[in-house]
Amino acid sequence: MLAKRIIPCLDVCDGRTVTAVRFVDLRNVGDPVELGARYAEQGADELVYLDISATFEGRRTFTSLVSRIAARIDIPFTVGGGIASIDDAGRLLDAGADKITVNSAAVRDPALIDAIAAKYGSQFVVVAIDARQIDGVWRVTTHGGRRLTERELFAWSREAWERGAGEILLTSMDHDGTRNGYPCDLFAQLSQRLPIPIVASGGAGSVEHIVEVLTRGRADAALAASIFHYGDITIPELKRQLQACGVPVRL
């Protein structure tokens, strides 16, 4: 069995790492480069940096910050926020990103996934999906969860894969920042429907939550933010506990 990945997420607003509940009520928790370097040293498998205000404010993703990150860390990292063209993707690749995520722009123009995958390869393309449950149906949202679309989660995730996505990063906006656990049944359904890796995001508050989403939820990776930023648990301790629970991880 492939090792499960532990991925700290650093939400960045105005050059600082912040925490939030459903992408609002922001709190500054430190410098994104220094935090990323610390997590890499502790044994994180990858990092994700999301410029959470880029799409909402109509700005381009923070290229200079990506260059600084690439100069400091030696593990793969993914960058997202405001990526709306092949040129945006290429600029971030040149700056040192290993993968990019597309979200709102891909919902607006799904051909963007095809274009980036065709030029750079599916392994470079992560489609991030922010979803809410509305009347029993998981609906896709955009602009940091601020805008509800008519797209249904499972149909959109399948289309994203067919267009060339190499990975899906799914965030439950109903659970994001609550620290009440992931919606494991949702992730299990998505994992069963798609042949590409699924990264689970939204709701991590304990080791038990991460164990559950990597086992019952069948996710390939668990993404979390607050539990690392506030020191609730370190990555080495988390991995030791995961291993003790029978979850394969890289120590």
Residues 6+ apart with CB under 8 A from 172: 131, 132, 133, 182, 183, 186, 201, 202, 203
- Among residues 45, 51, 130, 174, the one annotated as catalytic is 130
Task: Give the separation between CA 51 and CA 82, rounded to whole angstroms.
Answer: 8
130 is a catalytic site residue: yes
Q: Which residues pair with 18 in a beta bridge?
A: 11, 28
- Among residues 11, 88, 176, 220, the one annotated as catalytic is 11
Active site residues: 11, 130
